Structure 1
């Protein structure tokens, strides 16, 4: 009797262990599937930005990442900021013309390294955390102002944040001039106030992106943002 009881007991243990292994296996598979789905939902499309329409019309945003083979040759400005050398002549001409009209701009931010972009994102997240946001909320809010590493136009060297010098001009003077004239030099207002649902970035009157004179004129005249313009070309 005791031997039969022991056998039944061992058999019961094996069944319990088998069931436990089965449950754990199913849970692991479900977790892996859910993690993948969650990552796909949370993370931006991993598509790489295309240069199909030329280097000046590369679309880098929340959805399209800078290609790994993207190379930028930089020209350093007088204040230590740098930009892609291909946009420098038009940028310089625009600034010269602004100053001739007694509007005094400065490039507050030009080309950024991945390290610098990461630091800016971390700082912005910390600022929202300090305001009482949860970490996930802080990250979400920060993305409205700062792009993730690899998804920032500043890393291409084609984008510039243009502000006033703070002495001879005000920010509003500079932003107003740029809104009316930057397209003539190949630059567009990258994040318009009425396009935030498309760009996924809040209105930034200081952020300008070089696309070349021809495309800048078309974008300015049409009222499209870069995402819409590229979409129309495709």
Structure 2
């Protein structure tokens, strides 16, 4: 009788410890899921997919949810200041700059094509800057990604986006940004990240960042006051 009781007691103890281990594992798993970095990674893994050229190379949509395909290719043209752009946008880019300069505006391409490594370095530098301000690692990462795209999701890696700044010895930044906002669409470029579309693009207002989409599409986007994501949505509804 005593042996049977001991066995039942031992079995209960084993069950108790098994349940205890299970509960502890659940608590640990819960903490991991609540961790912001882990959650972000999981969500990205589920939602991100390779961008396509279904609507043409000029309408490839690269953003936080659509990464550049590994086999994406381009031919680059080097500008006079050493920056590079996709050769297919060079004629319209040069035309836009010639017309702006003829009207008295001083401007230059501050940034064009970037490699994956250059994009990674920019992101790390921005994260480090926030860490130096005393921000926790997870917060520094989130803040940095508001300014610098995660490598593989930056339009600069496509070669069809440019950051245009003013030559301040000739023009103010506001005047150059104003001219671009009113005229860039005539040359096939759109202001990629308007201030009123941040909730859609996921990027704060960048009055210097212009993306080539072609003259016809640029005029439509400009006239409707929409962003590229919204334009692609319209195409998909047709």
TM-score, with length taken from structure 1: 0.87
| d(CA) in 1 for partners of 2:84, 2:48 | 28
- Partner SS, residue 88 of structure 2: coil
Deviation at 1:105, TM superposition (A): 1.1
Structure 1 188/44 Cα, relative in aligned 2: closer, same or farther at 3 Å?
farther
Q: Which residue among 38, 42, 47 is the counterpart of 1:45?
A: 47
Q: What's 1:82 paired with?
A: 84
Deviation at 1:177, TM superposition (A): 0.8
Is 1:143 aligned with 2:145? yes
Q: What's 2:217 paired with?
A: 215
Is 1:169 aligned with 2:171? yes
Aligned residues of 1:44 and 1:63 also touching (Cα < 8 A): no
| Deviation by residue 1:179-204 (Cα, 9 ceiling, x = unmatched) | 01000000000000111111111000
Q: What's 2:62 paired with?
A: 60
| d(CA) in 2 for partners of 1:90, 1:230 | 22
Q: What's 1:230 paired with?
A: 232
Q: CA RMSD in A?
A: 2.8
| d(CA) in 1 for partners of 2:32, 2:24 | 10
| d(CA) in 2 for partners of 1:114, 1:121 | 11
State the number of aligned residues. 231
Aligned residues of 2:44 and 2:65 also touching (Cα < 8 A): no
The runs of 5 or more residues in structure 2 that have no matched partner are: none
TM-score, with length taken from structure 2: 0.86
Is 1:120 aligned with 2:122? yes
Is 1:203 aligned with 2:205? yes
| d(CA) in 2 for partners of 1:29, 1:212 | 53
Aligned residues of 1:44 and 1:62 also touching (Cα < 8 A): no
| d(CA) in 2 for partners of 1:194, 1:45 | 24
| d(CA) in 2 for partners of 1:190, 1:76 | 22
